[in-house]
Structure 1
Amino acid sequence: MEELFQVGSITQTHGIKGEVKVFPLTDDISRFKNMKNLLLDGGKDGYINLDVENARPQKNLVILKFKGIDNINDIEKYKGKGLYVTKDNRVELKDDEYFIADLIGCDVFTDENPDVKFGTISDVMETGANDVYEISLENGENVLIPAIKDCILKVDIEGRRVDVHLLKGLMD
């Protein structure tokens, strides 16, 4: 099966005409307006292909309406289920933007020792001002590196490699 990426999960129904409230797993909920097709985790029924008819933000959630689902009874059973996109259907990113799922697992190298693996990105924390990459070191310890231009020198998603500069005090 093709690799899938979760973009949200259905929290509850909205009204009686088949709309749902979705908790988005993206930093920009306006991206849902451009999503045409989503895959719903149907549990034992497998993934259900859904065409998005309408999407609108509501506070920190998104209200979605799917084509062909016009009744609360048709969608209610999917509360708590995830919504996914295929890799081909992910939104286009700007330069120097990366999907968290693509960053996790990348090998990290420093500018001081570019031929020796420093660690692996194990998590990305979204702090508001900038993301922070959690690097699992070879010795089992973890280091946090801010995702700013002074620290992140080069990201090669295809090559699964991130080159970083360690600011003074980071490893003390």
Structure 2
Amino acid sequence: MRKKYLEIGKIVATQGLGGEFRVQYYCDSADVICSFDRLFMGKDKTEYEVEKARPHKTLAVLKLAGIDTVEQAKTVVGKMLYIDRDDTELPEGVHFIQDIIGLEVRDADSGRVYGKVTDIYQHGAADVYSLKTPEGKELMFPAIPEVLLETNIDEGYLVIRPLEGLFDGE
């Protein structure tokens, strides 16, 4: 199921005295989180206008409207930041990781259900998807066109054709 709000980062510390704070972002780069005009905070998804945003080492530094002092910034440390799905557009065939986690993984030839996607590792040339079988075993497969044949977010499944030997010994 597609979520309306997607986690984009977590506030980890204050920055200076003017209400800025540091964010550990969950996107490809700090530039992504810095490109949004509005963000949503906390479990209630309170909307904030982004007044300033810049990359800072391995984090992003943000200043949101209404958070103007270090004391106010301290009260939001530890909170999650979200974007509204409608504020961004992905290219055809590209999906948010949060939409893929939890999808059922099916075999293209037999229809067998291998399990559900539990994690995605982004290393090297291709992402690697981790799934948990109904028996609790972890299996992994590369998200390459030869293996990952279909991603259907709306219906809640992936279709794969494992390379020979990939799931041997499962």
Alpha-carbon RMSD: 2.0
Percent identity between matched residues is 31
Query: In structure 2, how many angstroms separate the alpha carbons of the residues matched to 1:127 and 1:29?
Result: 18
Q: Kindly state the Cα deviation for residue 47 of structure 1 after the two structures are TM-superposed.
A: 4.1
Aligned to 2:108: 111
Runs of 4+ in 1 over 3 A off after TM superposition: none
**How many positions carry a matched residue from both structures?**
166
1:44-59 alignment, distance < 5 Å:
46-59=44-57
For normalisation by structure 1, the TM-score amounts to 0.85
C-alpha offsets along residues 39-64 of structure 1, whole Å, 9 cap, x if unaligned?
Answer: 222x7xx4432111121111210011
Aligned to 2:10: 9
Query: In structure 2, how many angstroms separate the alpha carbons of the residues matched to 1:74 and 1:137?
Result: 45
Unaligned runs of 5+ in 1: none
- Whether contact under 8 Å (2:107, 2:160) holds in the other structure is yes
Query: In structure 2, how many angstroms separate the alpha carbons of the residues matched to 1:69 and 1:119?
Result: 44
Unaligned runs of 5+ in 2: none
Partner amino acid, structure 1, of 2:91? K
Q: Kindly state the Cα deviation for residue 22 of structure 1 after the two structures are TM-superposed.
A: 0.5
C-alpha offsets along residues 69-125 of structure 1, whole Å, 9 cap, x if unaligned?
Answer: 222222122112211223333x32222321111111211112221x33232212212
For normalisation by structure 2, the TM-score amounts to 0.86
1:154 aligned onto 2:155 = no
Return 15-24 or 118-127, whichever deviates more: 118-127
Partner amino acid, structure 1, of 2:107? T
Aligned to 2:133: 137
Aligned to 2:66: 68
Aligned to 1:30: 31
Q: Secondary structure at the match of 2:28?
A: coil
Q: Kindly state the Cα deviation for residue 162 of structure 1 after the two structures are TM-superposed.
A: 0.8
Q: Secondary structure at the match of 2:75?
A: helix
